[in-house]
Amino acid sequence: MTNTFEDEAIVVADGDLLTTELDDEMVILDGDAGTYYGLNEVGCRIWELIQEPRTVADVRHRLVDEYDVDPERCTRDLHNVLEDLSSSELVEIDSD
């Protein structure tokens, strides 16, 4: 089940994770959990954008500006990525 993230929600990556880029992809290592995660090119860009706190709307607007993507599709895909990152405790989302 996918959460719907409010545009005003603030999202930021967990700063204690190790990351490395491989070609157009990124690998994130969660040393505490002993797991790693892979992100494709767009996921990598989302990760770069959320290294500092940003609203979900800001991330979406930047992606729509940078990629040839329909805004509605971008919203769905962004919410899916944020849900995956959130459920793996790789990001913090503040919807207050």
Encode pLDDT of 8-54 as tens digits.
999 999 988 999 988 889 999 988 888 999 999 999 999 999 999 99
With 0.85 as the threshold, say if the pTM is over it: yes
CATH T-level topology, domain 10-90: Outer Surface Protein A; domain 3 (3.90.930)
Encode pLDDT of 63-87 as tens digits.
999 999 999 999 999 999 999 999 9
Parse the chain into domains and list their residue ranges: 10-90
- Given strand 54-55, what is the order of strands in its sheet? 54-55, 10-13, 91-94
Instruction: Kindly state the DSSP code that residue 47 receives in the 8-state scheme.
Output: H
Q: What is the CB neighbour count within 10 angstroms for residue 85? A: 23
